[in-house]
């Protein structure tokens, strides 16, 4: 699937993927959940994310991101 998926849960993200990609991302999801069970899965910026992370620079700039992210792109999967 091309572009960011408009979903609100990790299960929806995986379900919207093409069949071949769904199997690969499901395997990654299972591995991440088994390896890092304390990192809660969620959707962030249209990606499958694990472990909320709030950062703050010395300049005062801050934001929210994640510890591990998985994105299904057109030609590859980003981890």
* Closest among 38, 36, 20 to 77, alpha carbons compared: 20
CA nearest to 10, candidates 76, 68, 74: 68
Distance set, CA 41 to CA 17, 57, 76 (Å): 17, 25, 21
Note the pTM of the prediction, 2 decimals: 0.88
pLDDT tens column, 3-59? 567 899 999 999 999 999 999 999 999 999 999 999 999 999 999 999 999 999 999
CA distance 24 to 66: 21
Give the angle 29-35-39 at the CA atoms, nearest 5°: 75
């Amino acid at each position: 699937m091309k572009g960011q998926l408009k979903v609100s849960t990790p299960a929806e993200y995986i379900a919207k993927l093409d069949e071949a990609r769904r199997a690969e991302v499901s395997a990654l999801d299972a591995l991440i959940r088994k390896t890092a069970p304390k990192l809660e899965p969620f959707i962030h910026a249209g990606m499958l994310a694990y472990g909320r992370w709030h950062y703050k620079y010395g300049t005062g700039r801050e934001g929210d991101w994640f510890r591990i992210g998985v994105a299904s792109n057109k030609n590859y999967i980003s981890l």
